[in-house]
A and B are shown apart, each in its own frame.
Chain A
Amino acid sequence: MKKILAPVSIPSEGAVGRTGFWRTFKPIIDKKKCIRCLLCWLCCPEGAIIRTENDDVIVNYEYCKGCGICANECPKNAIEMVLEE
């Protein structure tokens, strides 16, 4: 069968590459202050906060764009935006 070239794309992470390179500031989560409310996970526009099996949150630095919403929304101020090296 001939290959039909219709303009169709396949879902993929990193469709525009490693958007982590866009960052100026990066979020650092202080696990001691974190109460695992998952608001940062909910509010990240990128889906760059990973919710683990037991509801811990880990930043996916490959894609995090450093917008700072997570830090702004965290009810415990457990996230600090730190200047990227």
Chain B
Amino acid sequence: MERVAVLTGNYAVAYAVKLCRPQVIAAYPITPQTSIVEKIAEFVEKGELKAKYVRVESEHSAMAAAIGASAIGARVFTATSSQGLLYMYEAVWSAAGARLPIVMAVVTRAIFPPWSIWTDHSDLLAQRDTGWIIAMAEDNQEVFDMIIQAYRIAEDERVLLPVMVGLDAFSLSHTAAPVSMLSQDEVDEFLPPRKAFSFLLEVKNPITMGNVAFPDHYMEFRYSIQRAMERAKEVIREVEEEFYEISGRRYGGLVEEYRCSDADVILVLMGAWAGDAKECVDALRERGLNVGVLRIRFVRPFPREEVRRALLGKRAVIVVDRDISFGGAGVLFTEVSSALQQSNITVRGYIAGLGGRDVTARDFSVMVERVYADLESGNKESRIEWYGVKEVV
């Protein structure tokens, strides 16, 4: 029996987490993540969720406590944003290196200075080297679905890597939308209790985690994380298919293709604004422009094969980044360009929407029209452009 609730993105996270039966939650509040941890605290205090909630005194401690609890074998959850995510950066690496299947929600928020509580993706993408699987949702329903799948993916013995699920600040986190929820029984069947492995901490089998590894040993540990990332691609697809069986919902695996097969120009992006991009595509199609959207769902492992399959042979690709790697380009632009090596497709990158600056379907149309105009005039250059910047400094 379907149960639909009207939930903010943050509450979608909280309710999804509750259904996954985490045993330890360690989190520190930060706008705009706070209502996630407040809701979970309420579940725990009311006895609706049997878990220990460690009210840590910082984000660095939040991830450290999550690592400790996960190393004992507990299922663990945490959440943060922006400054908090940066503060725990050292610990984020630590969790992946220790192969602990922690799940974290990241409400993506711009980075200080100056203070901004509004969305951009710099904080989430700054984690791309750490060994975490990184996914981003487009809407609150997907947030709910991704959290539940995240535990399955993380705890799969072919993977054993932590997973972070991103959702845009305010446009998702604080905006209510209908979310179809699964029942506890359905989630219990989909997500069995976490399996124990021999490298966890227990008295009857004393091992040491993480002591010194000389150069003749260290590299293999890193290689093994990369291999797990590669295996994760198949696991992500499998888990989505299983989830489809119980929910009737699927998104396409590592990417979602929207009207791509007969498109000649494709917008590539991730996050909530993909919804606006899809609206833009529908409007442009009315005017005869064959545009599509390739929405990146998983940034890590990067869906190289899917990206090539969707984009090779197209006239142009427009990657819209809600982030910037200073001195370089947008992260998605760089990743997509790299995946499209040895092709001569025009890849145009736009940097837009930083610090929560609004980007509408109309703005996406403008970006597409610019690219079409360039192509018409024979300008096939691949480069990036900042969209909507008011001053030149």
Could you tell me which A residues sit within 8 Å of B by CB distance? 1-2, 4-11
Contacts and interface: CB of A to CB of B under 8 A. Distances in A.
* Interface footprint category on B: 10 to 19
B85 to A, nearest CB: 24
Given A2-B157, A2-B158, A7 B98 contact: yes
B209 A7 contact: yes
5 closest A-B pairs by beta carbon, nearest first, are A5-B224, A8-B199, A6-B99, A6-B199, A9-B208
Contacts of B389: none
B1 interface: no
A9 B223 CA distance: 18
A10 B209 CA distance: 9
B341 to A, nearest CB: 29
A8 B209 contact: yes
Given A4-B224, A7-B97, A7-B213, 14 more contacts: A4-B157, A4-B199, A5-B220, A5-B221, A5-B224, A6-B99, A6-B209, A7-B209, A8-B199, A8-B208, A9-B207, A9-B211, A10-B207, A11-B208
23 contacts: A1-B157, A2-B158, A4-B99, A4-B157, A5-B220, A5-B221, A5-B223, A6-B99, A6-B199, A6-B209, A6-B221, A7-B97, A7-B98, A7-B209, A7-B210, A7-B211, A7-B213, A8-B208, A8-B209, A9-B207, A9-B211, A10-B207, A11-B208
Interface string B215-246: 00000110110000000000000000000000
Nearest to A15: B211
A7 B206 CA distance: 14
Interface of B: 97-99, 157-158, 160, 197, 199, 206-211, 213, 220-221, 223-224
B212 to A, nearest CB: 9
DSSP class of B's interface residues: helix, strand, loop or mixed? loop
A15 to B, nearest CB: 9
A69 to B, nearest CB: 25
DSSP class of A's interface residues: helix, strand, loop or mixed? loop
Contact of B221 (A1, A2, A7, A10): A7
Nearest to B157: A1
A50 to B, nearest CB: 21
A21 B284 CA distance: 79
A9 B99 CA distance: 14
A10 B157 CA distance: 21
Nearest to B208: A9
A9 B209 CA distance: 6
Nearest to A5: B224
Max chain B C-beta neighbours (<10 A), residue from A1, A2, A5: A5
A4 B197 contact: yes
A68 B208 CA distance: 30
A2 B99 CA distance: 14
Nearest to A4: B160
A75 to B, nearest CB: 35
Contacts of B221: 5-7
B52 to A, nearest CB: 24
A4 B99 CA distance: 9
A81 to B, nearest CB: 31
Contacts of A7: 97-98, 209-211, 213, 221
Contacts of B197: 4
A7 to B, nearest CB: 5
Nearest to A3: B224
Contacts of A2: 157-158
Contacts of B213: 7
Contacts of A4: 99, 157, 160, 197, 199, 224
